[in-house]
Structure 1
Amino acid sequence: MVEKSLAGPITEALRRVRRTSGVSLAFAGVVRDGSAVTLAHFVGRTSGVLDGLSVEAGHGLGGKVLRLNRPLAVDDYLKTPHITHRYNPAISAEGLRAVAAVPAIVDGRVVAVLYGGLHCENPVGNRLFDTLVGEARTLEQQVAVSRALIEADAGAGPDVDMLRDRMSQAYTRLRLLARTVDDAALADEIARITDVLLDEPALRVPVAVTLTPREQDVLALAALGYSNARIGGELGVSAETVKGYMKAAMGKLEAGTRLEAVVLARRAGLLPG
């Protein structure tokens, strides 16, 4: 399921929330059947009492966010008149006071709720709110991409998958070969052949991104499922150098994961498939 694949992205999002906003605890839950948020991801100071808590729609801060499909914040969770207080015992035991919650929405439905909490009654500032909203938007994109991949895989037969893999392998090998030949004319001809393996221009999704040849090489090998170490071995560079190229490519494509970078590069006509 897509939701299971979100554990890593959610944790990374929470780390960025805590690092950027300075909250003492960033946490999140995935929505089940649109009726409840199950808290299961935590970064920061926590007693563990919230882990596994199921927040029902309409109750507490997260439940109200789930019901209204919009961000909310309270400066004192235990005293605010704007939410129900079904979960006060857990919040009190955790020691939280000021809390903000933002939904991640895909296809009009909340798929997860991201929280930022303070162990004090300080007002929730714009910095925390803006950070949570930004991370929720990133998570929405990752969910949408993951679902599209699952749907595409479900609709593609084994022959299509095999052909895609062979095209990716041929493309990558030809790119690497072009870098080893001394004949400029031959290298140009090989480059033209690799272009044939890319999607037709009319089918490409316009993306204002320009990748360096090395960044394309790294993504092409990542598309084959290669690890950073193996990519480095193929390109004759270190795994750390590969990480640098991958990070740069992901930044240009605004991708949160390697998989998303490969998908976006394919959509832009920068990789075959």
Structure 2
Amino acid sequence: MPEKVNGIVADAIRRVRTSSGVPLAFAGVVTGPTTLRLQHFVGQHVGALSGLSVDVGHGLGGKVVALNRLLAVDDYLRTPQITHRYNTLIEREGLRAVMAAPVIVDRSPVAVIYGAMHTPTPIGGRMLDALASEARAVEQEIVAARARMEHAAEGENEMRDRMTAAFARLRDLAGTVDDARIAEELEAITRVLIAGEEPAEEPTVELTGREQDVLSLAALGYPNARIAETLGITVHTVKGYMKDAMRKLGASSRLEAVVTARRSGLLP
């Protein structure tokens, strides 16, 4: 999501420069509870501010983050409204009148968008409205992008659960058929299900078929009793297979065992 926020903010400052008419528009993304990092610039600048980490509460942007509201100064170098920790860089950049608006998502600032001029002059309402409008647009874009990512993740999780369920059913079926050729074909299909992607980690352990069966059902959220009923074994036996699988995978919980098995390409 941070990369997405950076992209949205970078697009916004291009619009700010056009809509407000300022010679320089720039932006910073909040990278922690006390830091705003300036990294996007459009317009006339010499790079003095590029990469600057602004402390919350200091300078114009730091104060905007602290107060969560739009601020403007007619002459950055002389205004009593802010601290002047960054005056040397501002002067090197030749900036005087500056406005800044926070981008707020879930009541927390995630970025600050600036508009700046090279002369000390009052910033008019039209410029402030343009900046505020873009900040609100960025907020909406970030929220929408996050919703799309969450929806996509839900779809991926649902598909993975379906694959895991199919894997478990095929393995169970393979153990019940008498025809060796059909059993081999079913086993081959299960191998296809766990070979769709390169494992994130090289397999360092080998699980038995029953250990894979138990883990695949645990991955679907089945409790031990349901796993036992599905596989036709006792709960005590299920616990034994799970304990052995966790030991082999170096896992301290069922969830960790499932995650490690998936990363190693042992489960879909």
Question: TM class by shorter-chain length?
Answer: 0.5 to 0.7
Alignment deviations for residues 84-124 of structure 1 (CA, whole Å, 9 cap, x no partner): 00000110000000000000100000010000000001111
User: Are the counterparts in 2 of residues 34 and 109 from structure 1 also a CA contact under 8 Å?
Assistant: no
- Describe the SS at the equivalent of 2:26: strand
Read off the aligned partner of 2:13 and give its amino acid letter.
L
1:41 aligns with 2:40: yes
Note closer, same or farther for the CA distance 1:6–1:157 as it changes in structure 2 (3 Å cut). closer
- TM-score, with structure 2 as normaliser: 0.57
Note closer, same or farther for the CA distance 1:142–1:161 as it changes in structure 2 (3 Å cut). farther
Read off the aligned partner of 2:97 and give its amino acid letter.
A
Quote the Cα distance in structure 2 between the aligned partners of 1:161 and 1:76.
57
Quote the Cα distance in structure 2 between the aligned partners of 1:162 and 1:142.
30
Quote the Cα distance in structure 2 between the aligned partners of 1:162 and 1:120.
61
In the TM superposition, what is the alpha-carbon distance from 1:32 to its structure 2 partner?
1.2
- After TM superposition, the structure 1 = structure 2 runs for residues 148-159 of structure 1, keeping only pairs within 5 Å, are 148-159=147-158
- Describe the SS at the equivalent of 2:137: helix
Q: CA-atom RMSD, angstroms? A: 1.8
- After TM superposition, the structure 1 = structure 2 runs for residues 5-24 of structure 1, keeping only pairs within 5 Å, are 5-24=4-23
Quote the Cα distance in structure 1 between the aligned partners of 2:23 and 2:109.
25
Unpaired segments ≥5 residues, structure 2: 163-268
Quote the Cα distance in structure 2 between the aligned partners of 1:162 and 1:46.
52
Quote the Cα distance in structure 2 between the aligned partners of 1:161 and 1:12.
35
In the TM superposition, what is the alpha-carbon distance from 1:40 to its structure 2 partner?
0.3
Quote the Cα distance in structure 2 between the aligned partners of 1:146 and 1:90.
34
Alignment deviations for residues 24-58 of structure 1 (CA, whole Å, 9 cap, x no partner): 10000100123111000000000011000011100
Partner of 1:56: 55
- Describe the SS at the equivalent of 2:92: helix
User: Are the counterparts in 2 of residues 71 and 102 from structure 1 also a CA contact under 8 Å?
Assistant: yes
User: Are the counterparts in 2 of residues 70 and 103 from structure 1 also a CA contact under 8 Å?
Assistant: yes
Partner of 1:86: 85
- After TM superposition, the structure 1 = structure 2 runs for residues 90-169 of structure 1, keeping only pairs within 5 Å, are 90-160=89-159
- Describe the SS at the equivalent of 1:143: helix
Alignment deviations for residues 157-194 of structure 1 (CA, whole Å, 9 cap, x no partner): 4544899xxxxxxxxxxxxxxxxxxxxxxxxxxxxxxx
Quote the Cα distance in structure 2 between the aligned partners of 1:161 and 1:8.
29
In the TM superposition, what is the alpha-carbon distance from 1:147 to its structure 2 partner?
1.9
Read off the aligned partner of 1:97 and give its amino acid letter.
R
Partner of 1:256: none
Unpaired segments ≥5 residues, structure 1: 164-273
Note closer, same or farther for the CA distance 1:125–1:161 as it changes in structure 2 (3 Å cut). farther
**How many pairs are equivalent?**
162
- After TM superposition, the structure 1 = structure 2 runs for residues 166-181 of structure 1, keeping only pairs within 5 Å, are none
In the TM superposition, what is the alpha-carbon distance from 1:15 to its structure 2 partner?
1.3
Quote the Cα distance in structure 1 between the aligned partners of 2:53 and 2:127.
24
In the TM superposition, what is the alpha-carbon distance from 1:8 to its structure 2 partner?
2.9
In the TM superposition, what is the alpha-carbon distance from 1:12 to its structure 2 partner?
2.1
- After TM superposition, the structure 1 = structure 2 runs for residues 238-253 of structure 1, keeping only pairs within 5 Å, are none
- After TM superposition, the structure 1 = structure 2 runs for residues 175-194 of structure 1, keeping only pairs within 5 Å, are none
Read off the aligned partner of 1:124 and give its amino acid letter.
I
